[in-house]
Amino acid sequence: MIEEESLEERKANVLIKLRKYKLVKKEKVKDIVSYLIEIPKEKQKALIWCIPEESTVGILTVNRLGKAMKEANVERGIIITGGRYTHAAKLNAKKKKIELLPRIFPSFDIFEHELVPKHEILTPKEREELLVQCRIQPYQLPQIKASDPAVKAIGARPGDILRIIRKSQTAGMHIAYRYVVE
């Protein structure tokens, strides 16, 4: 089976597209496809590693990526795999600012699915306006888990507020908000 693109690469592409990352360099080392990207919003650089499905991601891989990040002088790292993560890998990744993308992360743009409305992260100004207008603390909004696929896709973090643009049967269009929690 010769595939033009592996599942992990497709996932990486979707991720780059959805989070509006800028691709700098793509290379292939052995099994691992690595992307060097720029995160425009935070002006950081990140390394994305795609690890094929068969292997389980252990602490070794995480450490290797950490090393690679240091060499390339990159702040953040992302691992994409169809395989499993070991517990140790999960613990270590957080320290090294490496995000482990869950393996159910879809290889297509979930926002194209008819059930999924558009999610956007509020800017600090919009956020302030919303909280003042509703006279609430952020936690009084409906919540959304940080592990939610839609949150992962747009790269929101706990504490962010999302704007959700729903198609509505009663009003035509409706804007809802959700607060990202852990």
Partner 1 sequence: MALEEIVHKIVDEIGFGLFSPQDIRKLSVVEVQTPDTYDEDGAPITAGLMDGRLGTLEPRQRCKTCGNTAIRCPGHFGHIELAVPIIHIEFTKIIYNILRATCRNCGRILLPDDRIEKIQVRTNRARQLLGSVPDEVYKNNIQEMIKAKQCPHCGAMQYKITFEKPTKLSEEIPESGSQPLTPSMVRERLERIPDEDLELLGFNPEAARPEWMVLQVLPVPPVYVRPSITLESGIRSEDDLTHKLVDIIRINQRLKENMDAGAPTLIIQDLSELLQYHVTTYFNNEASGIPPARHRSGRALKTLSQRLKGKEGRFRSNLSGKRVDFSARTVISPDPNLDINEVGVPLQVATRLSVPEKLTEWNIEEMRKLVINGPEKYPGALYIIRPDGKRIRLEFVVDREKVAEALEPGFIVERHLKNGDIAIFNRQPSLHRMSIMAHHVRVLPYKTFRLHLCVCPPYNADFDGDEMNLHIPQSEEARTEARLLMQVQDQILSPRFGGPIIGAIRDFITAAYLFTRKANYLTKDEVGRLLVAARYEGPLPEPQIKKPQPLWSGKQIFSLFLPKDLNCVLKATICRGCAKCLKENCPYDAYVVVKNGELKCGVIDRRSIGAEQSESLFHRIIKDYGTQAAREFLNRITRMLKLFITMRGFTYSYDELVLSSKAEDKIRKTMEKIEKRIEELIDSYRRGTMPRLPGQTIEDSFEIYVMNELAKARDESGKVADEDFTLENSGIIMTRTGARGSSLNIGQMSACVGQQAVRGKRIMRGYVGRALPHFEPGDPSPKARGFVYSSYQKGLDSVEFFFHAMGGREGLVDTAVRTQQSGYMQRRLINALEHLRLEYDGTVRNSAGDIIQLKYGEDGVDPAKSDHGRAVNVSRLIEQIKIAIEKSRPASAEYIKKRLKEFESELTPLLISELKQGLAKAKLSKEGVEKAIKLTVKHYKRALMEPGEAVGIVAAQSIGEPGTQMTLRTFHYAGVREQNVTLGLPRLIEIVDARRIPSTPIMTIYLTGKHKKSREAAVKVARNIVHTALEDLAQAVYEDPVHEEIVVELNKTMMEDREVKSQELKDKLKMENFTVRIRGNHINIKPKKVEALKKLLDKVPSLHIKGVPGIKRVLVTEERGEWVIRTDGSNLSKALEVPGVDSCRTTTNNVHEIAKTLGIEAARNALIHEAKGVLEEQGLDVDIRHVMLVADMMTSTGEVQQIGRHGVSGKKSSVLARAAFEITVPNIIDAAVKGESDPLAGVTENVIVGQSIPIGTGLVELYMSTSELKGENK
> Which helix (DSSP H) or strand (DSSP E) does residue 23 occupy?
strand 22-29
Which DSSP state fits 123?
P
Report d(CA 148, CA 135) in Å as an integer.
Answer: 26
110 binds partner 1 (CB under 8 A): yes
What string marks each residue from 55 to 94 as x (binds partner 1 by CB under 8 A) or -?
Answer: ----------------------------------------
The strand pairing partners of 38, in sequence order, are: 22, 45
Residues 139-158 that bind partner 1 (CB under 8 A): 139-145, 148-151, 158
Q: Under DSSP, is residue 163 helix (H, G, I), strand (E, B) or coil? A: strand
Total Cβ atoms within 10 A of residue 162: 22
- Contact segment (CB under 8 A) with partner 1 among 21-29, 66-74, 86-94, 164-172 equals 164-172
178 binds partner 1 (CB under 8 A): yes
175 binds partner 1 (CB under 8 A): yes
39 binds partner 1 (CB under 8 A): no
**Is residue 34 within 8 Å of residue 44, measured between CB atoms?**
no
Closest CA to 147 of 116, 178, 118, 181: 181
Binding footprint of partner 1, residue count (CB under 8 A):
46
Q: Note the residues at the interface with partner 1 (CB under 8 A).
A: 7, 104, 106-108, 110, 112-117, 119, 134-145, 148-151, 158-159, 164, 166, 168-178, 181-182
